[in-house]
């Protein structure tokens, strides 16, 4: 059977089964009504809700802006500064003696500034600066790494023994020993005499310690011969602790120096001012946590040649010479220069394990 014939048969069957009632229905009798639409009243906008939403969006945007654009890891807590960090008598004794000896060795007679148009003024001071630096190595930095102990004397000539412990830029321990006697003149005044050994050289120390109310003052003289010596005087004034020095050669004052020492967040800082008839140089020393020393300096000369800059110093090892050296990175404005100089050490012969 063809498909067309099959469809015709199905249609005939559907018609025979469907009731034929449409002619019997009176369509005009069916009532017609207009269509009704159930319209609900439209609500007016809720401006309060819109305002709250807008305010919320503004807060979110501002919060994201502050989060993404503010400087990260900025600690706005002011540093804790102690302008009189050396309050114990033994600390003042030891620092005065060590600094006097260092300045004694760091003041050569040919310390002149040369007007070198191809270099910096500070270059003429590098040799002297290298002699200061070993003092700076174990005098600045974390206070917790610096220790001064009073021990029974093993030298029959002296009553007291002070042992100074610290670390240098290579994290090697260093130790200095200071022997001395004290003799009380009265309740306010004590005289002392002693020795300290550095660079295998014995230095004689004589001084006077005065105490009046809450103020103290120390005056100390370090020398090898009677005509060559350093006088150091510690003073506390206007909440500052300063040490003043006179370096004498052949009974002539060749330079005057001043050191101001303080701690910032528990780390020692030193300001050193050097002055002679030709110039004045101010150094600010601060040990960084990566065992480098940051130096800010200013030079003023009587000839009108002035200079200021900064220096980063750290210790390197020269494989050819088999010695440690200071590496200076000097920056003056946009110029930079690198200089190396021998690292000189002052050590006690009994602690030869600290040799370079």
Q: What is the pLDDT of residues 186-204, one digit of tens each?
A: 878 899 999 987 667 788 9
Among 199-208, 229-238, 341-350, the minimum mean pLDDT is found in: 341-350
For every residue of 4-15, DSSP letters joined together read HHHHHHHHHHHH
pLDDT at residue number 22: 55
Nearest Cα to Cα of residue 193 among 202, 183, 205, 208: 205
Q: Which tokens hold the place of 7?
A: 């469809």
pLDDT at 144 over 80: no
Q: Is residue 342 situated within a structural domain?
A: yes
Q: Is residue 42 situated within a structural domain?
A: no
Among 43-47, 55-59, 190-194, 345-349, the minimum mean pLDDT is found in: 345-349
pLDDT at residue number 351: 34
pLDDT at residue number 281: 93
**Confidence category of residue 220, pLDDT binned at 50, 70, 90:** very high
Q: Is residue 19 situated within a structural domain?
A: no
Q: Is residue 159 situated within a structural domain?
A: yes
pLDDT at 306 over 80: yes
Helices vs strands, H then E, count in the chain: 4, 17
pTM: 0.65
Q: Is residue 335 situated within a structural domain?
A: yes
Number of C-beta neighbours around residue 190 at 10 A: 17
- What is the Cα Rg of the chain in Å? 43
| Nearest-angstrom CA–CA distance, 70 and 64 | 10
Q: Which residue has the tokens 């009974």?
A: 251
pLDDT at residue number 100: 85
| Nearest-angstrom CA–CA distance, 84 and 336 | 35
Q: Which tokens hold the place of 99?
A: 């600094």
| Nearest-angstrom CA–CA distance, 149 and 163 | 5
The mean pLDDT value for 55-72 works out to 52
Q: Is residue 22 situated within a structural domain?
A: no
Answer for the pair 206, 183: CB distance below 8 angstroms, yes or no: no
The mean pLDDT value for 53-71 works out to 52
pLDDT at residue number 95: 83
pLDDT at residue number 331: 94
Percent of the chain with pLDDT strictly greater than 90: 20
For every residue of 141-188, DSSP letters joined together read EEGGG-EEEEEE-SSTT-SEEEEEEEE-TT--EEEEEEEEEEEESSSS
Domain that holds residue 263: 82-354
Nearest Cα to Cα of residue 193 among 203, 201, 294: 203
pLDDT at residue number 191: 93
Answer for the pair 295, 313: CB distance below 8 angstroms, yes or no: yes
**Confidence category of residue 318, pLDDT binned at 50, 70, 90:** confident
Pure H helices in 1-125:
3-17, 47-69, 89-105
**Confidence category of residue 307, pLDDT binned at 50, 70, 90:** very high
pLDDT at residue number 129: 85
* Three-class DSSP category at 128: helix
Identify the burial level of 107 via C-beta atoms within 10 angstroms of its C-beta, where 0-12 means exposed, 13-18 middle and 19 or more buried: buried
| Nearest-angstrom CA–CA distance, 214 and 194 | 26
* 38: CB partners within 8 A, 6+ apart: none
pLDDT at residue number 209: 86
Apex CA 316: angle with CA 121 and CA 258, to 5°?
45
Q: Which residue has the tokens 């191809």?
A: 118
| Nearest-angstrom CA–CA distance, 295 and 307 | 14
pLDDT at residue number 277: 86
Answer for the pair 326, 339: CB distance below 8 angstroms, yes or no: no
Domain count, the chain: 1
Q: Is residue 305 situated within a structural domain?
A: yes
Q: Is residue 41 situated within a structural domain?
A: no
**Confidence category of residue 73, pLDDT binned at 50, 70, 90:** very low
Q: Which of the 8 DSSP states describes residue 132?
A: H
Report the chain's mean pLDDT, rounded to a whole number. Answer: 75
**Dihedrals phi, psi of 216, to nearest 5 degrees:** -130, 155
pLDDT at 167 over 50: yes
pLDDT at 91 over 50: yes
pLDDT at residue number 118: 65
pLDDT at residue number 81: 53
Using CA atoms, how far residue 237 sits from 209, 219, 268, in Å, is: 16, 15, 19
């Amino acid at each position: 059977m063809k498909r067309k014939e099959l469809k015709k048969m199905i249609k005939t069957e559907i018609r025979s089964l469907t009731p034929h009632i449409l002619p019997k229905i009176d369509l005009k009798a069916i009532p017609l009504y207009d269509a009704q639409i159930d319209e609900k009243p439209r609500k007016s906008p809720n401006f309060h809700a819109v305002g709250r939403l807008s305010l919320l969006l503004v807060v979110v945007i501002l919060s994201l802006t502050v989060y993404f654009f503010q400087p990260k890891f900025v600690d706005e807590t002011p540093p804790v500064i102690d302008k009189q960090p050396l309050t114990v008598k033994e600390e003042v004794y030891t620092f005065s003696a060590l600094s006097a000896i260092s300045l004694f060795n760091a003041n050569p007679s040919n310390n002149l500034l040369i007007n070198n148009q191809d270099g910096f003024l500070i270059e003429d001071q590098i040799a002297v600066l290298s002699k200061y630096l070993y003092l700076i190595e174990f005098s600045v930095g974390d206070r917790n790494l610096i220790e001064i102990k009073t021990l029974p004397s093993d030298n029959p000539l002296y009553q007291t023994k002070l042992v100074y412990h610290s670390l240098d830029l290579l994290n090697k321990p260093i130790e200095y020993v200071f022997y001395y006697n004290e003799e009380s003149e009265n309740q306010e005044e004590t005289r002392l005499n002693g020795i300290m050994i550095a660079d295998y050289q014995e230095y004689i120390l004589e001084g006077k310690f005065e105490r009046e109310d809450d103020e103290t003052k120390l005056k100390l003289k370090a020398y090898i011969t009677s005509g060559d010596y350093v006088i150091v005087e510690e003073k506390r004034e206007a909440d500052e602790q300063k040490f003043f020095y006179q370096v004498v050669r052949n009974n002539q004052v060749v330079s005057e120096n001043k050191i101001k020492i303080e701690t910032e967040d528990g780390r020692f800082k030193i300001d050193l001012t050097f002055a002679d008839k030709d110039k004045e140089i101010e150094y600010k020393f601060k040990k960084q946590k990566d065992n480098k020393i940051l130096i800010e300096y200013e030079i003023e000369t009587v000839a009108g040649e002035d200079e200021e800059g900064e220096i980063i110093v750290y210790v390197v090892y020269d494989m050819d010479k088999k010695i440690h050296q200071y590496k200076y990175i000097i920056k003056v404005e946009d110029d930079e220069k690198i200089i190396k100089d021998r690292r000189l050490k002052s050590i006690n012969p009994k602690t030869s394990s600290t040799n370079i």
